[in-house]
Amino acid sequence: MIEGVGSRLARARRAGFRAWIHRRATRAGFDPRDLERFDRFLRSQSGAAEGPRGHLLQRPRERYPELTSQPWHVPAAFEAARSIEGAFPTVARESAALRGSFSPHQEALAATGAWSTYYLSCQGHRLSAHCEECPGTARLIDSLADAREAGLAYFSALMPGTHLNAHCGPTNTRLRCHLGLEVPDGCRLRVGEETRGWREGRCIVFDDSFEHEVWIEADRPRVVLIVDLWHPELNAAERWALTEIRRLSWGAWKYWRAVRRVSA
């Protein structure tokens, strides 16, 4: 069968973008051979190849190949989680002082109750004015390379009676770390098929590309610090390449604009 002009153009664009990323990776000191999975990811995103399949309850918009898929991870395995727990007294004090400055979350996920947030970082963008209001927490986030580029870092407060509908995060390349700051009895988080809770001063780490759902059956708010971490099986070249394409992503830019708007 003779390939259509549109298909040839699409293949040429994919090849050109791949070559551009590889040249930039080389200049940045990375070996393009470490981008083999990333190249397959690009092909699956463009429709040139079938994307990898995962668990039925794991439904990200973007699925990166060959990353271990499990809903819950052991926090002690992550140096970042240990650092975050070590900063608990400072983070808890600064969060409590800022509570009146939290803004309604921009995504309509609450079936009942209310969700408010206070962003510190979004897709590599630092919210300097917010960081100045909680310098100890900001220094913590700045010290974690994962927290600068993997996704988001923010305070999150859920009011009593809140139920967040079941939903999936956009990608399996990140894991989500929560530090419990204020955790009354009656707070539950289901990730995949297992439901757990939070503990004040301790982290939980889970893959939010799995379906997850939250219930706050308590008499006071549940407050956590949320910090995104790279999936530990991504190599340095892959983390760099994913950061580069995110800078070019219209979806990521729209999310950053929405965060700026609610944080103003």
Q: Where are the domains of the chain?
A: 5-63, 72-235+239-263
Q: Considering the chain, what is the average pLDDT of its residues?
A: 89
Cβ proximity of 62 and 38 under 8 Å: no
- Helix axis angle, 5-27 to 236-247, nearest 10°: 120
Residue 212 pLDDT greater than 80, yes or no: yes
DSSP state of 170: S
- The pLDDT tens digits for 49-74 are 455 566 789 999 999 999 999 999 99
Residues 6+ apart with CB under 8 A from 257: none
Cα distance between residue 158 and residue 206, in whole Å: 18
- The pLDDT tens digits for 156-184 are 999 999 999 999 999 999 999 999 999 99
Q: What is the pTM of this model?
A: 0.91
User: Average pLDDT of 27-47?
Assistant: 90
Rounded to 5°, angle at Cα 26 from 23 and 28: 110
Percent of the chain residues past pLDDT 90, beyond the cut? 72
Residue 7 pLDDT greater than 70, yes or no: no
Superfamily of segment(s) 72-235+239-263: B-lactam Antibiotic, Isopenicillin N Synthase; Chain (2.60.120.330)
Q: What is the model's pLDDT at position 263? A: 77
Of 176, 213, 209, residue with least CA distance to 194: 213
